[in-house]
Amino acid sequence: MTTKKNIASIVCLSVALFLSNSTRAQTFVSNTDESKVPAYTLPDVLLMQNGRKLKTAAEWNKVQRPYIYQLYEENQFGTYPKIKTAIRYKILESDSHVFKGTATRKQVRIYLHPTDTSVYTDLLMYIPHSKKPVPVFVGYNFSGNQSIQSDPSVFISQAWIAPKTKGVVNNRATENSRGNDTATQWPVKEILSHGFAVATAYYGDIEPDHPEGWKTGIRTTMKDVLNIQPEQWSAMGAWAYGLSRIMDYLQKDKTIDGKKVALMGHSRLGKAALWAGASDQRFALVVSNESGEGGATLSKRWYGETVKIINEKFPHWFSASYKTYGDNTAALPIDGHMLLSLIAPRPLYVASAEGDQWSDPKGEFLSAKEAGRVYSLFGKKGIDTDKMPGLHQPVGATVRYHIRAGKHDVTLYDWQQYLKFAEAQFK
């Protein structure tokens, strides 16, 4: 006989099963239907561990910032090396007559290891001629320095490069990879025309971007020097660390204004740039170009790429701890707005593309807006509207945001906004 009690337990069981299935579906499946985004709660970036809301920039710097940074180390990127090693470098090549004599090209080998000369990254720079040190845009490229410009004098990367990249055969770059399809991501002439230098390196010099890459990257080669085991950090951590060593070099280069180093990263390199900007406050300005999941966007918002998907596809990008949230983003003590808040009070630009729903443009906007609360502590203005702006309508002051038409990429439009922003901020 079916009693009322039995019916009640059957109903409870079905609800529980439905809920667990729908949570699982949310993590494995990517949602791109705004009406299906369930409610979520973001951790309050101003709420301190002692339950009190912080009110001053001093409290942020002293208490909350280190706390949130540590949460990122523990839950997403792994430990950031605490030991400092000095870089050494060698100018491999320099030519002061490029772009009709208006700029210098310089290629610098930066040695990361104190003794082992096989651990290095090659920095390609284009520097506009100027009487004064110039500001610089620095960032990684996806397929070797030769890919950003069809300049026959740029050394072809010897490092492992992902397959399916134009001009790359058996994971090695060939002549055909010069100025290949990632070339638009670094519009050198445009950047120079605004008085900025360009400094870029191939991220694979630091750690090849595949699950076994750590075996030949700095997580292995620098393990003893940095006193940190490969599994204690992540590929993202290694790439961020590499950017800081590039910063070490830039601060030694007399042609560069070391106080005006703007860091820009696209996509996975945008995630690395945000972690580098959070870890090293010498980066005076940070640009996140469509960094998406694990970067600027909100993981707790079920839209686009999920924590579960990114960790399954790229198991080496983040720490093992991040994987434990794949089925339960509600338990994450952090979210994108907190990563962005670690850039405060330095100028921050977050950009999305309409055709890149995978990165969740709205999540990136909401995250940037929320980070503005920390900027307010410093008397700086973030984004003062709750309404997602239309295409090509940048909003915000010290935290700025835009969404443009087109696919997941870096375009001239993006760069024009970053240059205008950096010029105004560095005045």
- For the bound state, the minimum distance from the C-beta of residue 405 to ligand GTR, rounded and expressed in Å, comes to 19
Q: Is 187 in the site for ligand GTR (CB under 6 A)?
A: no
Q: Is 244 in the site for ligand GTR (CB under 6 A)?
A: no
Cβ atoms of residues 184 and 409 within 8 Å: yes
Residue 96 to residue 106: CA distance in whole angstroms: 8
Q: Is 292 in the site for ligand GTR (CB under 6 A)?
A: yes
- Whichever of 248 and 293 has its CB closer to ligand GTR, that residue is 293
267 as an active site residue: the answer is yes
Show the beta-strand stretches assigned E in 207-269. 256-266
Q: Is 293 in the site for ligand GTR (CB under 6 A)?
A: yes
- Whichever of 120 and 239 has its CB closer to ligand GTR, that residue is 239
Residue 400 to residue 404: CA distance in whole angstroms: 13
Catalytic residue among 267, 288, 291, 319: 267
Cβ atoms of residues 93 and 153 within 8 Å: yes
Residue of the chain from 73, 207, 257, 305 that contacts ligand GTR (CB under 6 A) = 305
Residue of the chain from 65, 268, 308, 316 that contacts ligand GTR (CB under 6 A) = 268
Structure tokens at 175: 């002549």
- For the bound state, the minimum distance from the C-beta of residue 283 to ligand GTR, rounded and expressed in Å, comes to 20
Residue of the chain from 124, 168, 298, 310 that contacts ligand GTR (CB under 6 A) = 310
Interface size with ligand GTR, residues (CB under 6 A): 6
Structure tokens at 342: 């670690």
Residue 283 to residue 240: CA distance in whole angstroms: 12
Q: Is 356 in the site for ligand GTR (CB under 6 A)?
A: no
Q: Is 267 in the site for ligand GTR (CB under 6 A)?
A: yes
- For the bound state, the minimum distance from the C-beta of residue 268 to ligand GTR, rounded and expressed in Å, comes to 3
Contacts of 67 (CB under 8 A, 6+ apart): 48, 49
- Whichever of 267 and 357 has its CB closer to ligand GTR, that residue is 267
9 as an active site residue: the answer is no
Give the sheet arrangement for strand 103-111, strand by strand.
88-97, 103-111, 120-128, 197-202, 134-141, 256-266, 285-289, 348-353, 399-404
142 exposure class (CB count in 10 Å sphere: 0-12, 13-18, 19+): buried
- For the bound state, the minimum distance from the C-beta of residue 305 to ligand GTR, rounded and expressed in Å, comes to 5
What angle (nearest 5°) sits at the alpha carbon of residue 204, between those of residues 200 and 210?
145
- For the bound state, the minimum distance from the C-beta of residue 336 to ligand GTR, rounded and expressed in Å, comes to 12
Q: Catalytic site residues?
A: 267, 408
Binding positions for ligand GTR, rule: CB under 6 A? 267-268, 292-293, 305, 310
